[in-house]
Amino acid sequence: MADETNPFFIVQGQLRRAVDNLDLGEGVYNLLKDPMRVIEVAVPVRMDDDRIETFIGYRSQHTDATGPTKGGIRFHPSVSVDEVKGLSMWMTFKTAVMGLPYGGAKGGVICDPQQMSERELEELSRGYIRRLAPMMGPEVDIPAPDVNTSSQIMGWMLDEFDRVRGQHLPGFITGKPLVLGGSEGRNSATGRGVVFTIAAAARRIGLDLKEATAAIQGFGNVGSYTAHYLDQAGTKVVAVEDVRGGAYNPKGLDVPKLLQYVAEHRTVSGFPGSEPIDTKQLFGLDVDILVPAALENQIDEANARLVKAKIIAEAANGPTTPEGDHLLASRGVFIIPDILCNAGGVTVSYFEWVQNTMGYYWPPQEVDRKLRAMMTKAFDTVYKMKQTHQVSMREAAYLVAVHRVAEAAEARGWVHRKRAPEIPSDQLQAMATTMPEAPASAPVANGP
Ligand code: GLU
């Protein structure tokens, strides 16, 4: 993987800039530039043809300064240790920007789930959790769905964890089926949150969503729910694309019919009444809103040059390369950064975990109301930071996030952001003779 597209290096650069802008000092950067724990596992699976295949997986736990680490698990052929490390750091900053009591983590297994049977996938999911169980738990590290992992996979993983521990621990994992303690609104949460942030951005730039057009790259869980909620908001979704192809209709796609079509055909390609479209064409469409909802590094410098949209809503994690980001920012495109834009998923994961802790469950309307309130508040906080410091939305989001994590690290005594200047020993002696006696009850300070 080239350095410019390596998520680990990209997030280190983002951290560096935020630490420098906030003048937090080298200690904070050094503390947060690497994940605190990265685990590699080898998971043997008996395949349907009786062969044993071993899959390599990772779990990166970035920091627990602000709480147990939290983040999804992805199944994908391109998973790598640096990708997982970078994604775990993005999770830290995502939970921090939302003010959730978590640190960040991410897991991944190198596999191609499209080529595996359901039984093979179940065995892989269970094996992965068995390997990691000693390092996980509701107060330690809490997984969730990510690319190519579903609520069914979370169900198998929860069952495996419960078996290993001999206890029912629903708060171990989020995004699980409702019947096992999942939350209402979790499946749709990321897409729902994306559209809340799009609505907030549209208000700021004076765009009426009912008059607006949108294109979405990626049509998995996040892309499809984003299409659904944009359609409900009155926005014309003119193009969508998934790994198998694209569908374009300048008059607007019939989103309910498209969702039905995808449920049957597992792709948007060939949707009746649409023309095919490829990624470059989609990025270059004359639409108001562009939603990258697939993988990292899709909007590089070359693709950024094609963009005509006013708003880019980063539904995926890390969809824009630093070069692409720079170019878009110089052209005044309003980018809703990933750590804010797609934070609806982890926010409802947090609601799920809270409900598991209470053993008391909220109706869908309550989840939705709470999600809207939290997304809008986070958006406003980042926007205010952007205005105050005259920076991009992305930089503003990092300022909010890194400040919070640094504050937690300092409160724990891990770093001293502003160390008192050293006092020469002769002055210290002079002071000792003039200082009043300390009272007997003076508190004793503990060193780090
Ligand atoms: N995988 C999602 C993300 O990247 C959700 C994580 C979670 O719910 O913990 O934000």
Angle, CA 386 vertex, CA 380 and CA 388 arms, to 5° = 100
pLDDT in tens, 97-121: 999 999 999 999 999 999 999 999 9
Q: What does the pLDDT average to over 394-421?
A: 89
Q: Which parts of 185-332 are beta strand (E)? A: 213-217, 236-242, 245-248, 289-292, 311-313
pLDDT in tens, 326-367: 999 999 999 999 999 999 999 999 999 999 999 999 999 999
From CA 140, how far away is CA 138, in angstroms rounded?
6
Question: If you measure from the C-alpha of residue 323 to the centroid of ligand 1, how many angstroms do you get, rounded to a whole number?
Answer: 25
Catalytic residue (choose from 85, 106, 236, 310): 106
Question: If you measure from the C-alpha of residue 87 to the centroid of ligand 1, how many angstroms do you get, rounded to a whole number?
Answer: 10
DSSP category for residue 297: T
Q: Is the alpha carbon torsion for 307, 312, 316, 317 positive or negative?
A: positive
Total residues belonging to the chain: 448
pLDDT in tens, 150-194: 999 999 999 999 999 999 999 999 999 999 999 999 999 999 999
pLDDT in tens, 189-234: 999 999 999 999 999 999 999 999 999 999 999 999 999 999 999 9
Q: What is the pLDDT of residue 143?
A: 98
Q: What is the pLDDT of residue 436?
A: 41
Q: Above 60 in pLDDT, residue 435? A: no
For residue 108, CA distances in Å to 32, 95, 219, 276 come to 21, 19, 20, 32
Say if residues 402 and 395 touch (Cβ distance below 8 Å).
no
pLDDT in tens, 5-63: 999 999 999 999 999 999 999 999 999 999 999 999 999 999 999 999 999 999 999 99
**For the chain, give me the number of helices (H) and strands (E)?**
16, 12
pLDDT in tens, 140-149: 999 999 999 9
Q: Are strands 141-142 and 69-70 parallel, antiparallel or unpaired?
A: parallel
For ligand 1, atom 9, name the residue with the nearest CA.
Answer: 71
pLDDT in tens, 220-274: 999 999 999 999 999 999 999 999 999 999 999 999 999 999 999 999 999 999 9
Question: If you measure from the C-alpha of residue 439 to the centroid of ligand 1, how many angstroms do you get, rounded to a whole number?
Answer: 51
What is the pLDDT of the chain when averaged over all its residues?
94
Q: How confident is the model at residue 416 (pLDDT cuts 50, 70, 90)?
A: confident
Q: Which parts of 156-295 are beta strand (E)? A: 213-217, 236-242, 245-248, 289-292
Q: How confident is the model at residue 1 (pLDDT cuts 50, 70, 90)?
A: confident
From CA 340, how far away is CA 197, in angstroms rounded?
8
Q: At 107, which amino acid appears? A: G
Burial 251-288 (b: 16+ CB within 10 A, else e): eebbbeebbebbeeeebbbebeebeebebebbbbbebb
For ligand 1, atom 10, name the residue with the nearest CA.
Answer: 346
Question: If you measure from the C-alpha of residue 72 to the centroid of ligand 1, how many angstroms do you get, rounded to a whole number?
Answer: 5
DSSP category for residue 145: B
Q: What is the pLDDT of residue 439?
A: 39
Q: Which structural domains are found in the chain, ordered by start?
A: 37-167 (3.40.50.10860), 189-341 (3.40.50.720)
Ligand 1: atom nearest CA of 146 is: 1
Q: Within 13 A of 17's CA, how many CA atoms are on the CB side?
A: 15
Q: pTM for the full model?
A: 0.92
Q: Which residue has the tokens 């420098």?
A: 20
Residues having CB within 6 Å of any atom of ligand 1 = 70-72, 94, 144, 146, 174, 317, 342, 345-346, 349
Q: Is 70 one of the catalytic residues?
A: no
Residue 228, both tokens: 């659904």
